[in-house]
Structures are given as structure tokens and as C-alpha cells.
Amino acid sequence: MYRTLWPLALTLALTACGPSPLPPDAAVQPSDLTVDQLVARSNAARGGEEKLRSIGAVRMTGTFGARPTSRIAASATITPGHYLRQIGEGASLVSIKAVDGPAAWELNPLAGILKPEAMVPEDASRFRHLADPQGPLVDAAAKGNKIEVAGKLPWRGSQVYKLNVTFPDGHTSFVYLDAKSFLPVRTVGTLYLPMINREVGLEVTYDDYRVVDGVKWPFTEKSRAPEGRVAQTIFWKKIEVNAPIEETVFKNPRS
């Protein structure tokens, strides 16, 4: 979900940003809550462990651009181990990123990828982390995710708790929980940029939480990677939980 909740860091520059990296966090103070307490409160805030564990599929549809009125369509479909994100459609297709179990492929005409081809390993790893409709904090140990509390700090005029999530492949991301609502409001990870052949810092922020089938989902996701001149927003208009999804939608059409 974090892409869903972590839902969704894209690779297309819509707005020219400065070349500086993401600024470092403000001084991090020791947490007054344990990692188990933080994970439990966050999952409870989203709808509760039982509800979250029942999520087997998520389908999101909306728009991609600076405003909700953008005409560029965006969609994300997620089941365990599978992920499909599409920006644009038909003649206006911008990109497709997909994970189908061990396989990961993409289509990106603006980057010269005119036919579906395998993602580079750095990109494939990031999108595999998104192939989890429940999110990385739900049943973390069973999924092989290691969660650690990094501390508490100010962010945008409020306090947040910072969690360090280490995935089974060894890659890490930071999840920031609002200290009052305990909902995820920010994630920080990395984005691989083939044009410079390295990873840069990527921030995704989450806003406009609404309840769908008893679970809170963010309907606005803003991504930015200043070193890659990336800044964009997805506005979800509809989120469907546990709708029937055919696994064929994730398959590379060339396979």
C-alpha cells in the first residue's frame, strides 16, 4: 500500500526543482514510545490489525499532475507480490511499471522504452517493496521486514515518529508517523536515475486520508527527488479494496 501508502514514487520530472539533495532531518530526539507501540498505534489508526490483514487487493484510479483537475490518468493495482502502476493511457501513455512475482518490467516512451522490457535491478527492488496492499508495518516480521524506531522530531510544524524499515533484500526506507494521529505522513527512500546511474533521495508525503471499507487511505501523494528534478502529485479519486483482479494484468505482454 505505501505506495500505495508508499504508493507511489514516480520517475518523470514535471517540475524543475533545485539540484540540492533532500534536506537532512531536524535534530532527532529519543522516542517516548517503543517500536511495538508505534506499529500497533499506526495500524490501529488506519483501521485495526484485523481489517488490514484482510486486505488482499487494492485498485486505485485518479489523476497525475499539479492539480486534481489534471487530465492525465493514473492507476495502481496491487496484490501480494504484484504491482501495476500506469500513468496516462492510449496515445497519451506516459509510463507503466509492473511487478509480477519475480519479474519486473516497464514501458516508458518518454525515456525511449517503446516496448516492455525488464526493469533495472535498482528500480525493480523499489517497486517490489510496493507490491504489498497492506503496507510494510502489517505483519512485518512474517513478511521479513525489520522495523526499528529512529526517534521523534519536528516536521512541518508538528511532531513525527521516525521508523526505519529494512526489507528482506536489505534495502531500507524511513516511515514518518504523525505523533497525534499515528498515520503515515511521509516516507523517505531512494530513486534510481539511469541518466546519472545512481540513486538519489526520494520523499513521498501523504495527505487527505479517507475511510474506504473501514481502512484509512491517503488520497493525495506528493513525490519529490530534488537531485533528479522530480516533483509530482497523484490525486486518487477512487480506491477499491478486495475487488476481483486477474493476475494476467501484471504480466509482461511480450512474455
Q: What is the pLDDT of residue 19?
A: 67
Query: Residue 25 and residue 22: Cα distance in Å, rounded?
Result: 9
> What cell was used for 8?
507511489
Which residues, listed in sequence order, are joined to residue 60 by a DSSP beta bridge? 76, 239
The residue among 185, 3, 171, 172 whose CA lies nearest residue 99 is 3
> What cell was used for 70?
489534471
The residue among 214, 233, 205, 216 whose CA lies nearest residue 65 is 233
Query: Residue 74 and residue 86: Cα distance in Å, rounded?
Result: 6
Q: What is the pLDDT of residue 8?
A: 43
> What cell was used for 40?
500497533
Q: Report all structural domains of the chain as residue ranges with CATH numbers, in order of start.
A: 35-250 (2.50.20.10)
> What cell was used for 83?
504491482
The residue among 127, 110, 117 whose CA lies nearest residue 4 is 127
Query: Residue 177 and residue 1: Cα distance in Å, rounded?
Result: 15
Q: Where are the beta strands (DSSP E) in 46-94?
A: 58-64, 73-79, 82-87
C-alpha torsion sign, points 182, 169, 146, 149 = negative
Sequential pLDDT tens for the chain (255 residues): 554 443 443 334 333 344 689 999 999 999 999 999 999 999 999 999 999 999 999 999 999 988 888 889 999 999 999 999 999 988 788 899 999 999 999 999 888 899 999 999 989 999 999 999 999 999 999 999 999 999 999 999 999 999 999 999 999 999 999 999 999 999 999 998 887 888 999 999 999 999 999 999 999 999 999 998 889 999 999 999 999 999 999 999 987
Helix or strand or coil: residue 159? Answer: strand
